[in-house]
Chains A and B, each alone.
Chain A
Amino acid sequence: ETGVTQTPRHLVMGMTNKKSLKCEQHLGHNAMYWYKQSAKKPLELMFVYSLEERVENNSVPSRFSPECPNSSHLFLHLHTLQPEDSALYLCASSQGALPGDWTANYGYTFGSGTRLTVV
């Protein structure tokens, strides 16, 4: 394990389901991220939380809803997804507090991801 734990590892859901992805870090990091990784495409940044406040929302559809209840936990709530949302969803954390903290890149640690399939 890298220090960032994601559950579940695999998830298959129907388009009408509601599910949640969980991410947990005990590294003392201040920033947490959700990324989407689709085949042969660059990672897409979805959401950024810094000190438990959302600081970035990259035009993500409202069927994805993040939640950061404390500095160690991050959730991604999913509802009425589409087949094109099938991808690997990665959680990451980093030391610095955004915006503007130059140490934000330091200690960048990823979880193993959740492989999501929407049927």
Chain B
Amino acid sequence: KQEVTQIPAALSVPEGENLVLNCSFTDSAIYNLQWFRQDPGKGLTSLLLIQSSQREQTSGRLNASLDKSSGRSTLYIAASQPGDSATYLCAVTTWDSNYQLIWGAGTKLIIKP
């Protein structure tokens, strides 16, 4: 059974720093992996989607990488800003999950001004 883990559960860094959020999954036979952002009291916003055949995706200051063989993905945030404060969740889809998302519990990120 596929399990997704995000460590740490919470992270606090000063503004301007580059940072990396981690996501690991137990079954490397994934179809794709997505990173989402959730602001307090709000729904989730899709940030990046990486297909199983891809190694990375970039959007602005965000870069997500995927290493299927090791069961890991990272979300790199460059030059962090207070507006980046949110909970970041990763989710994978496996071939036998009927293309439904399997979620990590998220990393709560706080960027200190």
Contacts and interface: CB of A to CB of B under 8 A. Distances in A.
Contacts of A90: 43-44
Contacts of A70: none
B11 to A, nearest CB: 14
B1 to A, nearest CB: 13
| Residue of B4, B45, B101, B102 with most partner-chain A CB within 10 A | B101
Interface string A15-52: 00000000000000000000000001111010010000
Contacts of A81: none
A96 B42 contact: no
Contacts of B44: 90, 92, 110
Interface stretch (A60-68, A72-80, A98-106): A98-106
Given A41-B105, A108-B34, A108-B46, A101 B99 contact: yes
Contacts of A56: 98, 100
Interface residues of A, number: 29
Nearest to A1: B43
Central interface residue in A6, A92, A105, by most chain B CB within 10 Å: A105
Contacts of A102: 31, 99
B41 interface: yes
Interface residues of B, number: 25
Nearest to B100: A45
Contacts of B49: 105-106
A2 B43 contact: yes
A105 B103 contact: no
A33 B93 CA distance: 15
B24 interface: no
Interface string B73-113: 00000000000000001010100001111111110000000
Most buried by A among B9, B36, B42: B42
Given A105-B101, A112-B41, 12 more contacts: A40-B9, A42-B106, A48-B100, A90-B44, A99-B99, A102-B99, A105-B32, A105-B93, A106-B49, A110-B36, A112-B42, A115-B41
In the A-B complex, the 6 residue pairs with the closest CB atoms: A110-B43, A42-B103, A104-B99, A110-B44, A43-B103, A112-B43
